[in-house]
Every structure is written in structure tokens, then in C-alpha cells.
A and B are shown apart, each in its own frame.
Chain A
Amino acid sequence: MNPEIIRVVGYVVAVIAFVALNAAMLVWMERKVAGHIQRRIGPKEVGPFGILQSFADGIKLMTKQLIVPEGADVLLFKVAPMLVMIPAIMCFVTIPFSEQLAARNINVGLLLIFAIASVNVFALLLGGWASNNKYAVISAARAVSQNVAYEIPMLITAITVVMFTGTMNLQEIVLGQAGGFWNWNIFPVGKNIGMVVVMPISFLIFFICSMAETNRAPFDLGEAESELVAGFHTEYAGMGFGLFFLGEYANVFIGCSLSVILFLGGWQGPFGLLPGVHWFLLKVYFLIFVVMWMRWTFPRTTFYGLLNLSWKILIPISLFNLVLTGAFIKVF
């Protein structure tokens, strides 16, 4: 056997295990964070600090029957949750956890993540439509218009980073930020003094958009439970619902790790001390904590507010940012 094939299979197994465990831990973390923000304790019965709570939930979900609603499109109804999960796992192919720990170092890595993650919307749409439920259809329509609106500023800010670094290879983007935190792309004082103005704004826009793309609060209009029951997964029971959830948390991880790779130096530490992969995970989980913090602090926006924010504020600012980036790269 070719050792390359063994490496690939090993990596696939490890990534799937990581995605599942990551989702389980994030559900626990979300409930703990929510609890403490609301002056409760959160889960505490199962295991120390309730850390095994999500495993108990997972077992419960897996033992439940998968009910297909009457009048639903059975095939598409069953395919949709898988279509949420598959791209989420595929995106991990090119994320560099550390200098050595990356499945494939692809030259168009950034494009690969955007291309594969775009299938997610299609899956939500199919799931919502196949459920034969009006709330699910409305929610799917909302999710699509939201995703289309926020993909534009997200891609434009990604382009500012690509222009600045000159590559779409994620590993090279991280390597370009070596040598201390003053070289990180968010405040590149050490590299290009003009970009110090542009990059923090780019980071903010990118972070907001990645939250909106993953349907996280305050942008979770697709699952506004006060109006739409539970959104596109209203009709899903058991592991069908579970897969939507796993996919959402995997996407949150991917969004935060992209922010870390593009702006916060990836696996580069501000000072030695720890190996790269530790720094990478520390930064990513800190950003995920911020995402949760926002969810339990801010109320849900209205739908027109959400679309106005993207089309009238984020897109013009990001276009202006793009022009400034071009100018600063020439001038400094």
C-alpha cells in the first residue's frame, strides 16, 4: 500500500472525529456560557461540570426515530442533512492547524473553502423545501437571501487580504505573518503602515459576515423561534436535526479559523512558549467564545435591518476598503 493513501484515510478519520467532538464540546460550552451570562450555572449533572451532557444528548438523538412528514419529498428530505455535513468536513482539507498539520496545502485554499461552503445554502434550501412545511420554506428563503447578501462583503474583504499577501494559499498567508504579532495582518505595523487603517475594518467586516453566513445570532433570522417554530429544521427529528446542528458548529469553527488564519497570524504565537497548533486552537476557541458572547448579549435583529446592514453599510465600506488597499500597497 502507498503510505500516501494511509495518510489520507487517517486524516479523514481524524477530521470526522474532530468535527463530531468539537460540536459536542461547543454545545456544552454554549450552554455553559449562556448559563453564566444569564446568572445560571448551566448543565452540571452528567460528569464533572456537566461535560458529558452533549454525549448523553447525542445518544438520545441517535436512538430517536427519523420521522418523514407526510407529503414530503422523501429523498431530498434525507439528503439535505448530509449535504450540510459533507461540505463542512471537506473544508477541513486545507485548514493549516500548524506548520506540519494540514491535510493538503492547496494553492487556491481560500477559494476552496468559499466554494465548498457555498453548498451549505443549497442544502438548507433543499431541506426547507422538502419538509413540505410553510415555516421551513419561509426560513429557507430567509437563509438564502441572507447568505447571498453577506457573501459579497465577505468575499470582498477576503480579496483585500489576498491583495495584501499576494497568495490564496492559507499556509503561505500564515507564513507571511511570521515574526511577532506586529506582523499579523490585523495590525501590520511591521509590514505596511498604511494597511493599519484598512485591516482592522476588514477584520470586523469579515467576522460579522462569517457570523451571518453561519446563521448565528444576532443574525439567526432563519431560525427565529418566535415566528418560525424552529426554521428550516422544524420537521427534522433525531439525528436529522443532529446533523444540522453538527454542521452549524463545524461551520462556526471554520469561520473562526479563517478569521484567525487571515488576520490573527494563524498558528504563529505572539511569543514562543507553546507549539503552533496550541496557539491556533487557543485563538480559534477565543473567537468562538466571542461569537457565543454576542449571541447571548444582543437581541435578534429584524430581517430588513439585517439586509440593510449588508447592502447599505458593509458592501460600500468593503468596496472602499478594497480601493484603499490598492492605493496603500502602491504608496507604502
Chain B
Amino acid sequence: MNPPITSADGLAGIVFLVMLLVTGAGAMIAVNAERTIRAVAGLALCFVGVAGIYYFLQSPFVALMEMLIYVGAVCVVLVFAVMLAEPHPEQQVSKRNALVGGLSFITAGMLTWGLVALAKGATWSTAAVRMNEGTMRDVGLSLLTTYSMVFELVSVVLLVAIIGSLVLGRAGRSKA
């Protein structure tokens, strides 16, 4: 039933696998890197992979937003902060505690088990075949009707972030 490799669907499947690999590799680099900047670079790679998966799942708008916000803004700010806070790249990671390692293994195992259970129990609908939609009209309508609650909640998150940065910025300023 698999489409031939040279057909458009086959190539898309290969691209999907590559994106999965990129996401996984990026995540591994982000966790295991010794230099903080490399960890952030791995995180950026991971985000690019996730954006590719969104694109594969026919939602170009979400994919591009992922690129614009996570790679273009969040990762840049992270690198910027690390660069200013930690000018010397050679810094050894603190020694790992055996107990912490065991606990994290248990947590990871439980997470995996939960995700697998969810995936097995779910009824999978076929992927939406709506290539090249996502016009301004569609995006605007869904943001203001179906997802209006989420949209409003996001604005609350942003408000909290702004107030928090204002508070922190004022605390650092001298009274003189």
C-alpha cells in the first residue's frame, strides 16, 4: 500500500521522517550538550523539526508561526541572555546525583507509558487534505470563533510576562 519513493507522496513521507529525526536529534543535543549555547542551538533545531511536522500536517500558518516566534524570537533571546551572563564557554556541568537520575528515569518511563496508552486508545482521524489553505479569512475566523478562548488566554500570558519583566526591571534599577 506504500506509495513509490519517487512519487510526490513518497518524497513527502521521506521529508516527514527526516523532520522526525531532526526533532529528535535537536532535542538530544539540547539535553546533552555541555555548552549552553550548543544546547540552545539544539533547541532551535528541534523547533525547526516541529515546524516541518506542522507543515506536513497541512497547517502552514502554525508552522511559520513556530519558526517566527520560537526560532526567530525565543532562541535568539535565549542565546542573547546566555552570551551576556556566561562569557566563558568552558563551564562544567555539576555532578549528577544518583537519586535524581533514577527519579528522572521513572518520570520518563511513566510519561512514555501514558503517551503510548493515549495513542493506543485514540481513534485516529485521517489527516486533513487541505493543502494551501490558511488564508487570512480562515485564520481570522477560527481565531475569533472556535479558538477565541485560547486566543484570549494567550493574551493573559503575555500580559503576565510584560508585568513580570517590568517588576524585575524596576527591581534592578538603583534609587539614585
**A interface, CB within 8 angstroms of B:** 1-2, 4-5, 73, 75-76, 79, 105-108, 111-112, 114-116, 118-119, 121-122, 125-126, 129-130, 132, 137, 140-141, 144, 148, 162, 166-169
Q: Which of B6, B7, B132 contacts A107, CB < 8 Å?
A: B132
**6 A-B pairs with the lowest CB-CB distances in the bound complex, closest first:** A118-B72, A115-B68, A115-B67, A115-B64, A107-B135, A111-B64
| Min CB–CB distance B97 → chain A (angstroms) | 29
A-B contact count (CB 8 A): 88
Q: Is the CB of A122 within 8 A of B71?
A: yes
Q: Is the CB of A125 within 8 A of B80?
A: yes
Q: Is the CB of B6 within 8 A of A2?
A: yes
Q: Is the CB of A118 within 8 A of B73?
A: yes
Q: Is the CB of A73 within 8 A of B35?
A: yes
Q: Give the contacts of B78-121 with A (CB-CB under 8 A).
A: 79-80, 83-84, 87, 89
| Min CB–CB distance A81 → chain B (angstroms) | 14
Question: Can you spell out 24 A-B residue pairs with CB atoms less than 8 angstroms apart?
Answer: A1-B6, A2-B6, A2-B8, A76-B38, A106-B60, A108-B61, A108-B64, A108-B134, A111-B65, A112-B64, A115-B64, A118-B67, A119-B67, A121-B72, A122-B71, A122-B75, A122-B76, A122-B79, A141-B80, A162-B136, A166-B136, A166-B137, A168-B135, A169-B135
Give the distance in Å from the alpha carbon of A76 to the alpha carbon of B61 in the complex. Answer: 29
Q: Is the CB of A141 within 8 A of B84?
A: yes
| Min CB–CB distance A210 → chain B (angstroms) | 16
Q: Is the CB of A118 within 8 A of B71?
A: yes
Instruction: Classify the interface of chain A: helix, strand, loop or mixed.
Output: helix
A4-B8, A111-B61, A111-B64 given as contacts; is B132 within 8 A of A121 (CB)? Answer: no
Q: Which residue of chain A has its CB nearest to the CB of B139?
A: A108
Q: Is the CB of A107 within 8 A of B133?
A: yes
| Min CB–CB distance B64 → chain A (angstroms) | 4
Given contacts A111-B65, A162-B136, could you give 19 more A-B pairs where the C-beta distance is less than 8 Å? A5-B8, A5-B11, A76-B37, A76-B38, A79-B41, A107-B132, A107-B134, A108-B64, A114-B68, A118-B68, A118-B73, A119-B71, A122-B44, A122-B71, A122-B75, A125-B80, A126-B37, A137-B83, A141-B84
Contacts of B73 in A (CB 8 A): 118
Contacts of A5 in B (CB 8 A): 6, 8, 11
Q: Is the CB of A119 within 8 A of B72?
A: yes
Q: Give the contacts of B26-47 with A (CB-CB under 8 A).
A: 35, 37-38, 41, 44
| Min CB–CB distance B21 → chain A (angstroms) | 17
Contacts of A4 in B (CB 8 A): 8
Contacts of A137 in B (CB 8 A): 83, 87
A115-B72, A122-B71 given as contacts; is B83 within 8 A of A129 (CB)? Answer: yes
Contacts of A111 in B (CB 8 A): 61, 64-65, 68
Q: Which of B8, B64, B79, B132 contacts A126, CB < 8 Å?
A: B79
